[in-house]
Amino acid sequence: MMTAIGLRKIGIVAVVSVAISCGMLVSPAASQSLGDRFKSLFGGKSDEPAAAPTIVSPEPENDLSCPPVTIRAGASTYAVAAPGKQPVGNDVRFQATITRTARQCTKTGDQITARIGIQGRVIAGPAGAPSTIDIPLRVAVVQGGVQEKTIATKAYQTAVPMSENGSEPFTLIAEDLVYPVPSGATADAYIFYIGFDPQALKPQAKPKPVARQKN
């Protein structure tokens, strides 16, 4: 028959064994890859109110230079008014703002492919927002300096279904912005500019058909 002391020892050993097993099953947060952190940042809807943008720029996995993300001046908000009105006061139908960003760069040969994540929020205005809102965004990689030089730029759109509460988050991840690997110290001058671009919603003009010459 076991004594009370013996039973106590067995219990302690069992508890320690369970703790060790659990420790082996739990992976530390530091072991998450950059891709996992990127997905966790934009994986779900956020209930946070629109505020000053937070730049979330994880460190690259290698020594590849990945430019910082900056919101283009004058392009941080997108407000739309009722037809024939200005987007102020009771004439505002909706307003969108950018709240968070992230970036990731991958080098393939002499090209860099950038993933730029943009998260924001759309709020319905007094004039009433439509049931679905198209959000126009532009992402560009620019070489900064006295005279900025655009290296690559691309427009994107994302549709946001509006709910009765009049406030919905949106997320867009641009995965196909490709540009040449910068040389030397030039890389330090590169910047990712993002912002709303209403021009991106306008349909592109179709090229005029070439008139055939009569024989």
**pLDDT digit string (tens) for 145-191?**
888 999 999 999 999 999 988 999 999 999 889 999 998 788 889 99
Euclidean distance between CA atoms 199 and 19, whole angstroms: 59
Q: What is the pLDDT of residue 145?
A: 85
Q: What digits encode the pLDDT tens for the residues 61-89? A: 445 679 999 999 999 999 999 889 999 99
Backbone angles phi, psi at 49, to 5 degrees: -70, 155
